[in-house]
Amino acid sequence: GEDVEQSLFLSVREGDSSVINCTYTDSSSTYLYWYKQEPGAGLQLLTYIFSNMDMKQDQRLTVLLNKKDKHLSLRIADTQTGDSAIYFCAESMPGGYQKVTFGTGTKLQVIP
């Protein structure tokens, strides 16, 4: 079965880089995602990577995928206080509706 794990908390200083890690178990996943949840809001897709890629960069965000170790990371460069949120890693499996399994979420706290 699918299982997606993340550490629960991360604290960084403003201006530093943040690295949020995720491990997953299902090697048949098609896409891997990072969602952001700001306080009091639903989840919003930040970025995603197709499973045959190993890196994707989008402005301050860098996603690294190590398929061999089933490890996904999200690096946020020059972390700002507005980046404080819960970050969810998720994987989708092939299938009619692209079932998505979410991780436990990592709460990122940015210290001014």
Partner 1 sequence: DVKVTQSSRYLVKRTGEKVFLECVQDMDHENMFWYRQDPGLGLRLIYFSYDVKMKEKGDIPEGYSVSREKKERFSLILESASTNQTSMYLCASQGGNGNEQFFGPGTRLTVL
The nearer residue to partner 1, 14 or 31, going by C-beta atoms, is 31
Among 4, 65, 74, 110, binds partner 1 (CB under 8 A): 4
Contact between 8 and 105 (Cβ < 8 Å): yes
Distance in angstroms (rounded) separating the CA atoms of residues 70 and 68: 6
Distance in angstroms (rounded) separating the CA atoms of residues 111 and 103: 24
Among 49, 105, 108, 110, binds partner 1 (CB under 8 A): 105
Q: What are phi and psi of 83, to 5 degrees?
A: -85, -10
Taking contact as CB under 8 A, which single stretch among the options 55-63, 66-74, 75-83, 102-110 is the one that binds partner 1?
102-110
Cβ at position 25, least distance to partner 1 in Å: 14
Among 17, 25, 104, 109, binds partner 1 (CB under 8 A): 104
The nearer residue to partner 1, 42 or 82, going by C-beta atoms, is 42
Distance of CA 53 to the CA centre of its chain: 15
- In 3D space, the residue among 105, 95, 97 whose CA is nearest the CA of residue 26 turns out to be 95
- Binding footprint of partner 1 on the chain (CB under 8 A): 4, 6, 8, 30-31, 33, 40-45, 48, 88, 92, 96-100, 102-105
